[in-house]
Amino acid sequence: MMESSLTKKRIGILGGSFDPVHIGHLIMARDALERLNLAEVIFIPAGVPPHKQHLKQVDADHRLSMLREVIELEPHFSVSDIEVRRRGISYTIDTLIELRDSLVDAKLFLIVGSDTLVDLHTWHKQDLLLEMCEIATFIRPGEDSIGRISEKMKLPAEQQKRLLCNVIDAHRIEISSTEIRMRIARGKEIRYLVPPSVEAYIEQYNLYQG
């Protein structure tokens, strides 16, 4: 008899460049943990994000190290280098397929922002992706309602209905890694935008300078 999805371990997957990881990422992960009743949230930094191939990133080792320092004392957060180790473009579907081998008894929740949900129709093998996990969408700053998000989506009605059932309006933190990199390059403070350990790490290795 197949194990009921109600008894499976519920695990959240939070992907991104994390260049660098900031307070907004951590608050979203905490909100997901509580609102989705998750046992764990796995942070997965991308190697080569398909929609950001033109952007230069700091070395993956730095991005991984910053994440590991941040979640060191958080028992419900972990970090995976699964996409960094894989060569080529980091397609989410490939990550989910690989995770399935080690998390056979888990129910996976892919945690995304509402901007990602709007672009989901452009994702690699998005039909298969929707079969392999639940997508939990957190409304980002600037999005007024589920109706507004629905208007922008370009997916079949049945898929839209399913996805919109998992839209969560939690803390809306208007912080971006882009803003943080720009502030550092201009010699401005990033205190309170990133955890103290990340600020210290960036200073130690002179990341994002000029």
1 band by pLDDT with thresholds 50, 70 and 90: very low
pLDDT in tens, 25-70: 999 999 999 999 999 999 999 987 665 555 678 999 999 999 999 9
Average pLDDT, the chain: 89
pLDDT at residue 51 in the model = 57
Indicate whether 188 pLDDT > 60: yes
> Which residues lie below 8 Å from residue 72, measured CB to CB, with a gap of 6+?
none
Alpha carbon separation from 77 to 10, 26, 120, 170 (Å, rounded):
13, 9, 25, 19
* Pair 128, 103: CB distance under 8 Å: no
Percent of the chain exceeding pLDDT 70 equals 92
In the chain, the amino acid numbered 159 is Q
pTM greater than 0.85 (yes/no): yes
| Nearest alpha carbon to residue 12 among 80, 36, 26 | 36
Residue 176, amino acid: S
Tell me the CATH number of domain 9-204, given options 1.20.120.450, 3.40.50.620, 3.60.21.10, 3.30.230.10: 3.40.50.620
In this predicted structure, the answer to whether residue 19 has a pLDDT above a threshold of 60 is: yes
